[in-house]
Structure 1
């Protein structure tokens, strides 16, 4: 079953393998963030600051409702990576077939809930009246397309688990370009406002899902699924859920913490909301190397724990930390000197630019612990450490709730407490993740041998 896009990560030098595997995901993740940023830039420039604030007000909520689907996709991917490392090809096909049931259920459930309760949640978060209508329109459109996002992420997670990080990239880049073109058409030409931006996002995500699925079915031998493989396998479903639910809970806890912080942001008015939305988009882009490295470490760890090569997992982790150190320092320098210019890509209003520029200088000081969170998460999720996923999510909720409540109430800090909250939360979560790694309990964990 040779495939030039596939890497068997149980053999070969760790650093080149991680880099070769991560860079296609980095390109893909950057393009994914670009079409998220396209909504913000085009809406901010052509519709206005209030519209940009509306898009940002619903951002954390999207992530919350996506989290269950993403968790299920991650759980399936981790299980398959361990089967791949153990060379259990029949189990791989069964796991791929059974993932269909999980993703359909999660996607339909989250899409229905998000559309039904979107207004109640936005009102509960103190969303200002002048942006509530647009925030509700954008949220309902984007959340209505959750199944498309879930489908693409599930196929991508499976392909990455099999050592193929390039195939998802091809379709994501294409879909990202389509999204930007549709943004320009719907918002700038047809003047559909935030609704146009939301429709463009959903259409591009659906395109990525459909094309990636078709390609995988025709080109990847592991996707040649028989009727026997489609049989409902309780054992496989439960193993996927065993790591999928905690990972989903981790994402949900993180999104809840972001929602709590968004509620604090909303109390400072439209300018701060717009600045927060822009800085959030910028930092999401900056985090993509960490995110790509996390996925690479997860696949690397999953395959090697499946092959019972624990020492090799440790070596991969150490190489990844070096990458984090170099990139974190580079981005710290960039943000300290170019933050104002970067903010001008999003908005023209000087007050919003000043807020965002200072905010980026604050958070860039905490990029190293942020990177450590991603690397530790990749390793611990990859080996199936479900309890870690739950605990780290709770740590983030605790950090954001406590810091956002305390810091913004201190007069000398005030509004800047919003961004110090993010930085200090990364610091304590990064420390917790490193301690979890050093404890070494993960070395005895495995989904397929438990």
Structure 2
């Protein structure tokens, strides 16, 4: 029997920490997928191959996060139903959201694989890197359905307060991914395509294993009789909750794609530096993302149980925890930024630029933490429509500031990382404004 966690009673801070820690471990393992690609490609295939892989990062993230947005919507609906004790409705919502996720995942997989080459050409990927970038992206994006399936079952288990089971399956698949990376790249000589294939195969196995085990072991989510049939009303509700978040994720990805396009214009060294700093930053963002998910589930359960004041107390605890972590990471990068970069790549110019970039963006981790905590609260409360506004603020800031700053001679390519920092400040301010307006109080599903 898989354990669930009722977060409507007890210490808010303890609930958030106990929920977030296994989730953090899982998120870090998830990032190990990317890090394994970066490390093995950078060390064994060279800086140009790393730049080719990095050039696809923003666009593959775009397609992945569309599916992840839908899964978050599924989790919000499930968390509120679980908090309200409506288990029969919960089971129907899980089946219905699973159907939506499967359809959407297949469509996105096909579209993204077909669109790989024209999109990368639009992004100004240098001709000498284009072939390898297209290969990596086509293989990585064709497995988007695997990403969708894993994030869906993960969101459902989070809604029930369980982050341990997905962690176990992800741990196994991470080891498998590293092994396949080494086999495909170093032994078989499949190049960047081998790294992409290893990641997708491991993700798919993790998704299948987790789904089979969770449905077989938890009677709370095991459908009975006609509950196996997707419910049209719940499918619509899932899309109503998830599509705004998917759009937000898409908008954020569009802004990242635009920034990648600007980065590509500065040549292979800056592209590789940006790739390294982004990979490292993805690790740093995981505690923030884990707190986002913890607050979202905590808020969803308590809003479902009618405990609005308790949900607000949880947000305050989350902000405090994320701010402490932000300061710690800035100190780490101030002291060890270049050493951490050197772990991923050998080129001294790349190490120097990426190490300084980590210090620059690290000074703005407190606003980054605010984005994650407030966004998680608003999502859990059911105020997902605001997600589109939040995404637009990132698009406008990231595109606008990058075009201005990188064209100032004294700033040059450093405008790429300055833009990221300013974007966090603007988006955090917009998120806080939405919270204090209080519209989330009327959005419970």
Partner of residue 425, structure 2: 427
2:350: which partner in 1?
A: 352
Residue 21 of structure 2 corresponds to which residue in structure 1? 23
Partner of 1:132: 130
Aligned match of 1:48 in 46, 49, 69?
46
Q: Which residue of 2 aligns with 1:410?
A: 408
How many residues matched?
A: 445
What CA distance in whole angstroms lies between the structure 1 residues aligned with 2:351 and 2:81? 49
SS class of match (2:247): helix
Q: 1:69 deviation in Å? A: 1.3
Within 1, Cα distance between the matches of 2:174 and 2:226?
Answer: 36
The residue that corresponds to 1:214 in the other structure is: 212
Please list every run of 5 or more consecutive structure 1 residues that lacks an aligned counterpart in the other structure: none
Confirm or deny that 1:393 pairs with 2:391: yes
Deviation >6 Å, runs of 4+: none
Instruction: Answer yes or no: is the 8 Å Cα contact 2:394–2:423 preserved in 1.
Output: yes
Displacement of 1:68 in angstroms is: 2.2
TM-superposed CA distance for 1:29, in Å, is: 0.4
Map of 2:307 onto structure 1: 309
Q: CA RMSD in A?
A: 0.9
Structure 1 residue 226 displacement after superposition: 2.2
Q: CA offset at residue 42 of structure 1? A: 0.4
Q: Which residue of 1 aligns with 2:165?
A: 167
Matched, 1:151 2:149: yes
Match of 1:233 in 2: 231
For 1:113, the equivalent position in structure 2 comes to: 111
SS at match of 2:5: coil
SS in 1 for 2:229: coil
> 1: CA distance between counterparts of 2:424 and 2:166?
29
Q: What is residue 9 of structure 2 aligned with on the other side?
A: 11
Q: Helix, strand or coil for the counterpart of 1:163?
A: coil
- For 1:223 and 1:175, how far apart are their aligned partners in 2? 24
Q: Deviations over 1:279-323 (max 9, x none)?
A: 000000000000000000000000111111000010000001110
Alignment of 1:318-329 (within 5 A): 318-329=316-327
| Contact 2:96–2:232 under 8 Å retained in 1 | no
Give TM-score, length-normalised by structure 2. 0.99
**For each residue in 1:176-227, what CA deviation from the matched residue of structure 2 results, as whole angstroms up to 9, or x when unmatched?**
1111111111111212110110110011101110110111011111232123
Contact conserved, 2:71 with 2:155, CA < 8 A, in 1?
yes
**TM-score normalized by the length of structure 1:** 0.98
Q: Give 1:412 shift.
A: 1.2
Q: Distance in 2 between matches of 1:278 and 1:180?
A: 18
Match of residue 332 from structure 2 = 334
Compute the displacement of 1:107 (Å). 0.5
Q: CA–CA distance in 2 between the matches of 1:42 and 1:103?
A: 32
Q: Deviations over 1:386-441 (max 9, x none)?
A: 22111000000000011100111111111100000101000100111111111111
Q: Aligned equivalents of 1:286 and 1:345: distance in 2?
A: 15
Counterpart-to-counterpart distance in 2, 1:221 and 1:59 = 39
Q: Specify the SS of the correspondent of 1:228.
A: helix
Query: Which stretch of structure 1 is more off in the superposition, 381-390 or 329-338?
Result: 381-390
Determine if the alignment matches structure 1 residue 438 to structure 2 residue 436. Answer: yes
Secondary structure at the counterpart of residue 364 of structure 2? helix
Which residue of the partner structure matches residue 176 of structure 2?
178
- Per-residue deviation, 1:18: 0.5
CA–CA distance in structure 2, aligned partners of residues 276 and 88 of structure 1: 47
CA deviation string 1:230-270 (max 9, x = no partner): 22322211111111000000000000000000000000000
**C-alpha displacement at 1:55, in angstroms?**
0.8
Q: Distance in 2 between matches of 1:12 and 1:221?
A: 25
Distance 1:290 1:174 in 2: 24
The Cα offsets for residues 131-168 of structure 1, whole Å up to 9 and x where unpaired, read as: 10111000000111111111111001001001111111
Structure 2: where are the runs of 5+ without partners? none
Rounded to whole Å, the distance in 2 between the matches of 1:422 and 1:56 is 17
Secondary structure (helix, strand or coil) at the match of 1:224 reads: coil
Deviation at 1:34, TM superposition (A): 1.1
